[in-house]
Amino acid sequence: MKRNVEAELDALKVQMTELHALVRQLTVSNATTTTNPALNRVAAHPIQTEVPQESIDQGGVYFSGQYQGAFSQYRWEPQERRISQLLDLDGDKVAKVLSVLGHRQRLDILRAVMQEPLTGAEIVERLNMGTTGQLYHHIKALLGADLLVQEERGGKYTLPERRALPLLLLFASSAELLDTSDYMELAHVREDASGYLGSSQDVYDPHLLLRSVIENTLLEHQAGYCSEVSIILHEDGSVTVVDNGRGIPVVAFAGTSKPHVQAVLTELHENASASIHASNRNKGINIPVVNALSEKLSVEVRREGKIYRQDYKHGIPQSNVHTVGLTRDTGTSITFLPDRDIFRMSFDRNRLAQELDEISAHHAGLALHFLQD
């Protein structure tokens, strides 16, 4: 096999430059923490002083990369952008850039031509766009923004080479922020609580949230994996639902770092959890809705010999999924406190007992326990 010495030297050069940048960063960090030990502890009598703004180094972002496609190859030398420069960017211009890219089909077009040059007809076919008229509306915007070039009239579209790395970095940073889209949707649930619970805040019923959680244990029972469910009403107004099912999977979905249990609790759409509907409401109450409308929620999963836990507030994770113990049991426990800014009613013990009796009558072989602490 013939070695490409030139390519190896280029790769080594990139690695050495990155190492140099890292050493520089570590040197700056050590200088601020070791040259003045007093910075590493709280002073007994702090003295407030004004630090000149120009003397504050907020740090920087270092980046480089390479991309090997089927029809193109890019390599970029390590670069640096100072934080002060990034935070001082023209807000109007940044907003315009994001608005050009803030459309799914435009992003799909850019990702497609990044993999290989394509004609308009090929893009329409590749992306199942239906008509070329729909395509050229977006093509015009991308050409005007210098994010696409066309070889010749009627020819293939390509991505300008200098635009490849910024777009890839944008995709990389977006990947780190994908979960925020879920939390935005959960925030909309809180703003539109009546769309799920009814038209009058005075009668928002927290029992609907509990019934949604119980419905998911019933799915496990119907699938043959759950034989026992306990509902525990707590003094602070929260409630716990414990089942002995398989336990919600904890491992991440393929192609993502998000744990499965977190996806179940935060992804409003395309969610496999059961849902119920309030009277005259067409929006279903599923587990993410319960999470969004809860002041706090905790989930514990007993699975594969371990107990996993994650905590939420208004649907937003307050911790990672972490191991809190060992067990031979399996199942899921969800504890939630309905948001008292939304729900003026509390759980009613007698009503809960009656509802559980009705559920038990319709699900033979399922042991239901109602407890109160």
Residues 74-84 have a mean pLDDT of 84
Query: Both 155 and 205 in a single domain?
Result: no
Q: Are residues 207 and 129 in the same domain?
A: no
Is 279 contained in some domain?
yes
**Domain region containing 135:** 63-159
The share of the chain scoring above pLDDT 70, in percent, equals 82
Exposed/middle/buried for residue 365 (C-beta within 10 Å: 0-12, 13-18, 19+): exposed
Residue range 243-293, pLDDT digits in tens: 999 999 999 877 677 899 999 999 987 666 777 888 777 788 999 999 999
294 and 224 inside one domain: yes
Calculate Rg over the CA atoms of the chain: 28
Quickly state the pLDDT bin for 42 (edges 50, 70, 90). very low
Report yes or no on 56 lying in a domain: no
Q: Beta-carbon neighbour count of residue 331 at 10 Å?
A: 24
Residue that terminates a domain, selected from 159, 175, 192: 159
Task: Give residue-wise pLDDT tens across range 52-66.
Answer: 555 567 888 888 888
Residues 6 or more apart whose CB falls under 8 angstroms from that of 164 comprise 67, 74, 114
- Give me the helix-helix angle, 91-101 and 104-115, nearest 10°: 80
28: pLDDT confidence band, cut at 50, 70 and 90?
very low
Number of domains in the chain: 2
Given pLDDT bands bounded at 50, 70 and 90, which one contains residue 303?
very high
Q: Which of 335, 178, 325 is nearest to 258 (CA)?
A: 178
Amino acid 27: pLDDT? 47
Same domain flag for 217 and 148: no
- Over residues 171-205, the pLDDT tens digits come to 888 877 877 888 899 999 999 999 999 866 567 89
Q: How confident is the model at residue 15 (pLDDT cuts 50, 70, 90)?
A: low
The percent helix, strand, coil of the chain (3-state, each to 5) is 45, 20, 35
Q: Would you call 131 helix, strand, or coil by DSSP?
A: coil
Q: Are residues 215 and 359 in the same domain?
A: yes
Residue 129: per-residue pLDDT: 83
Binning pLDDT at 50, 70 and 90, where does residue 76 land?
confident
What CATH number is associated with residue 205? 3.30.565.10
Q: What's the chain's average pLDDT?
A: 83
DSSP code of 245?
Answer: S
Max Cα distance, the chain (Å): 80
pLDDT at 145 over 50: yes
- Residues 238, 137 within the same domain: no
Pair 302, 332: CB distance under 8 Å: yes
